[in-house]
């Protein structure tokens, strides 16, 4: 494979085939346009469109500055923040096929193989579905694919080298992880360019540093904190993370959650890898060297509950491997075309019902907020909102007063004075009141498994803060409550295994003395520990009592505040409900 020479030009027949498949892929993108936003990240992106503030998670770190900037331009032509985000993503989705075809050609794949690889990527369920949403993933991967293709072309063309560097920097301005995809193409193209002109390398470095610096210079601290969160909560370092070997199939085989299609695709991928090793095929080596670093990082570091979305970042690698595997077992071009078309059609048939649901129906999360607008009066009732639903309230009812609890099991830290209602995503509890559901089916496997059921219901449960508590405090929508050295709380009745979750802070001044904290449930000790950090979350699975449940919390160190209070722990969230 000689990257110093251009690929052979397409024939007239090949150009016609390319245009036909391109038009089919482009038209199919419009069938994925969701009727409304649905998920947490989409709501945060909308909040970022309204007032960009990464520190306040508008949107969440790393801030996606390039995606938001593009959406602000699109906002000049559409009538809502969500539609602007969706428009940017739709344009990127239309460009997925030509981007992939360009990359496949630069890797010197045959014409038929290039078309199959590009169509496979376009019709992978996650790529097709998320291309019609307000997420940034498809925009990110389209930029990355074009960047890699131009960088490979940059081995023979300085202008392509500069374009590839610029596009890679833009993609990093959406997701910093895209640097992992760029490592090999940048190194390879730079090696070629450095032999001809060192100034080209210096100019490309200035382009990259300029774009990335402008994108993230003001938000480095927020990005650092977010990185620490990912490492602590989502990565293999988390104590709750399952063994890595148990996630291999989910990250690299079952990304599509269709047993038949996953098996067929994985079989073609395996054939490609074995054949490439035997033939010492550098095109497949370059494919793996480009996308495998991100794939491995995703396996090690990213949220295992969002694999379908995160795997978009390395989906091009599997599309190329699968198309190459089809080519290796096909002796004739027509057989290769039939096999490739069959696999693409299989993915399309599998994904179609999911697209129909999101295209034709309003999401439960939006309907839940609409129910607040239609049925509640803030002058006569109180609203409690579970943390997963707060971005939707902030997006659609930005001035509506509410108090925040952690989740559907959340217990207010105060007693409601008026009729109280609760807006929550429903996952573990039994929904009541106004309930909004979305059909699962294939959509359950493609989308993130959240917000399929949302309810606005009368506040279902509350706790009695019997002793040892100071009056509740408000900080914005958050409700907090200090306890002294010992507190007693009566929890609502429960049946079966029940989860108790307590999120709390230890005063910073007490950390040096390492206080001992004890949790008792119905008189029995369920935990005793010395905190090693000031901000903690403790979760327990307990068996509740037949009638009442008494939670006692003690700490052997307290802090004398400027007022008469003796402060032990600051409780931020308290949850109690079915596992």
pLDDT at 229: 52
> Which residue would you say has higher pLDDT here, 579 or 465?
465
pLDDT exceeds cutoff 80 at 235: no
Q: Are 52 and 94 in the same domain?
A: yes
Q: Which residue is it, tokens 């496997």?
A: 445
> Residue 49 CB: number of other CB atoms within 10 A?
22
Whether residue 233 is contained in a domain is answered as no
Whether residue 13 is contained in a domain is answered as no
> Which residue would you say has higher pLDDT here, 176 or 244?
176
Whether residue 12 is contained in a domain is answered as no
Q: pLDDT by residue (tens digit) across 71-87?
A: 999 999 999 999 999 99
Whether residue 157 is contained in a domain is answered as yes
Q: 420, 443, 458: which is the final residue of a domain? A: 458
Mean pLDDT of the 434-438 span: 96
Q: Are 349 and 377 in the same domain?
A: no
Whether residue 399 is contained in a domain is answered as yes
Which residue blocks in 135-258 are alpha helix, DSSP H? Answer: 137-153, 158-172, 178-194, 198-216, 220-229, 248-252
- Report in angstroms the alpha-carbon separations of 292 from 43, 296, 313: 31, 6, 10
**pLDDT > 70 in the chain, percent:** 94
pLDDT exceeds cutoff 90 at 443: yes
Mean pLDDT of the 561-569 span: 87
Q: Are 250 and 131 in the same domain?
A: yes
Q: pLDDT by residue (tens digit) across 359-396?
A: 999 999 999 999 999 999 999 999 999 999 999 999 99
Q: Are 64 and 26 in the same domain?
A: yes
pLDDT exceeds cutoff 60 at 225: no
Cα separation, 33 vs 275, in Å, equals 39
pLDDT at 382: 94
pLDDT exceeds cutoff 60 at 555: yes
pLDDT at 481: 96
pLDDT at 168: 95
Number of domains the chain contains: 3
Domain range enclosing 570: 464-578
279-288, 299-308, 537-546: lowest mean pLDDT where?
299-308
Q: Quick one: pLDDT band at residue 309, thresholds 50, 70, 90?
A: confident
Mean pLDDT of the 503-526 span: 93
Q: Are 373 and 342 in the same domain?
A: no
pLDDT exceeds cutoff 70 at 240: no
DSSP state of 481: E
Concatenate the DSSP letters of all residues of 412-469 into one string: -SS--SSEEEEEEE-SSS---SEEEE---HHHHHHS-S-SSEEEEEE-----EEEEEE
Q: Quick one: pLDDT band at residue 333, thresholds 50, 70, 90?
A: confident
Q: Chain-wide mean pLDDT for the chain?
A: 91
What are the beta bridge partners of residue 521?
524, 551
Q: Are 210 and 348 in the same domain?
A: yes
Q: 408, 435, 458: which is the final residue of a domain? A: 458
Q: H or E stretch including 268? A: helix 259-279
pLDDT at 302: 67
Indicate yes or no: pTM above 0.85: yes
Whether residue 265 is contained in a domain is answered as yes
Whether residue 8 is contained in a domain is answered as no
pLDDT exceeds cutoff 90 at 303: no
Q: Are 355 and 368 in the same domain?
A: no
CATH number of the domain that residue 497 is part of? 2.60.120.260
Q: Are 319 and 403 in the same domain?
A: no
Q: 439, 458, 477: which is the final residue of a domain? A: 458
Q: Are 278 and 379 in the same domain?
A: no
**pLDDT > 90 in the chain, percent:** 73
Judged on CB neighbours under 10 Å (0-12, 13-18, 19+), 200 is buried
Q: Are 431 and 493 in the same domain?
A: no
Whether residue 404 is contained in a domain is answered as yes
Q: pLDDT by residue (tens digit) across 284-298?
A: 999 999 999 999 988
Q: Are 60 and 191 in the same domain?
A: yes
Q: pLDDT by residue (tens digit) across 390-427?
A: 999 999 999 999 999 999 999 999 987 789 999 999 98
pLDDT at 143: 97
Q: Are 349 and 371 in the same domain?
A: no
Cα separation, 398 vs 378, in Å, equals 13
289-303, 348-362, 425-439: lowest mean pLDDT where?
289-303
């Amino acid at each position: 494979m000689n990257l110093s020479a251009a690929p052979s030009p397409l024939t007239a027949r090949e150009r016609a085939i390319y245009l036909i498949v391109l038009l089919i892929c482009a038209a199919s993108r419009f069938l994925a346009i969701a009727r409304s936003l649905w998920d947490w990240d989409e709501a945060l992106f909308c909040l970022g469109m309204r007032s960009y503030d990464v520190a306040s998670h508008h949107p969440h770190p790393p801030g996606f500055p390039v995606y938001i900037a593009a959406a602000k331009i699109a906002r000049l032509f559409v009538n809502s923040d969500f539609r602007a985000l969706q428009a940017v993503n739709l344009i990127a989705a239309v460009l997925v096929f030509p981007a992939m075809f360009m990359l496949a050609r630069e890797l010197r794949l045959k014409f038929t193989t290039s078309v199959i690889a590009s169509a496979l990527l376009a019709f992978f369920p996650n790529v097709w579905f998320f291309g019609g949403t307000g997420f940034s993933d498809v925009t990110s991967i389209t930029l990355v694919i074009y960047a890699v293709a131009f960088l490979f072309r940059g081995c023979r063309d300085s202008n392509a080298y500069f374009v590839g560097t610029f596009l890679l920097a833009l993609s990093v301005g959406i997701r910093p992880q895209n640097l992992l995809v760029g490592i090999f193409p940048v190194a390879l193209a730079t090696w070629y360019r450095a032999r001809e002109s060192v100034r080209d390398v210096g100019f490309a470095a200035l382009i990259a540093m300029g774009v990335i610096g402008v994108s993230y210079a003001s938000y480095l601290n927020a990005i650092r904190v977010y990185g620490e969160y990912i490492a602590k909560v989502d990565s293999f370092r988390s104590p709750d993370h399952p063994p890595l070997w148990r996630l291999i199939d989910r990250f690299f085989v079952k990304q599509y959650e269709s047993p038949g299609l996953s098996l067929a695709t994985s079989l073609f991928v395996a054939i490609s890898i074995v054949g490439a090793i035997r033939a010492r095929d550098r095109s497949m080596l370059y494919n793996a060297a480009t996308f495998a670093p991100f794939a491995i990082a995703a396996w090690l570091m990213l949220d295992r509950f969002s694999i379908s979305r995160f795997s978009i970042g390395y989906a091009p690698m599997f599309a190329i491997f699968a198309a190459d595997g089809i080519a290796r077992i096909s002796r004739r071009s027509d057989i290769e075309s039939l096999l490739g078309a069959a696999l693409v059609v299989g993915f399309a048939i599998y994904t179609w019902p999911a697209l129909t649901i999101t295209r034709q129906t309003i999401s439960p999360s939006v309907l839940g907020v609409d129910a607040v607008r239609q049925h509640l009066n803030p002058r006569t009732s109180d609203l409690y909102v579970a943390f997963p639903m707060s971005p939707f309230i902030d997006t659609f009812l930005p001035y509506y007063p509410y108090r925040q609890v952690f989740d559907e099991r959340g217990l207010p830290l105060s007693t409601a004075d008026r009729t109280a209602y609760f807006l929550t995503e429903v996952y573990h509890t039994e929904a009541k009141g106004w309930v909004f559901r979305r059909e699962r089916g294939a959509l359950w496997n493609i989308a993130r498994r959240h917000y399929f059921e949302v309810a606005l219901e009368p506040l279902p449960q509350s706790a009695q803060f019997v002793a040892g508590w100071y009056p509740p405090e408000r900080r914005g929508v958050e409700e907090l409550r200090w306890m002294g050295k010992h507190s007693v709380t009566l929890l609502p009745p429960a049946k079966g295994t029940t989860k108790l979750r307590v999120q709390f802070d230890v005063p910073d001044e007490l950390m040096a003395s390492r206080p001992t904290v004890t949790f008792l449930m119905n008189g029995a000790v369920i935990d005793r520990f010395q905190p090693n950090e000031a901000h903690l979350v403790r979760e327990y699975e307990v068996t509740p009592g037949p009638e009442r449940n008494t939670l006692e919390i003690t700490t052997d160190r307290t802090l004398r505040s400027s007022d008469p209070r003796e402060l032990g722990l600051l409780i931020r969230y308290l949850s109690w409900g079915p596992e």
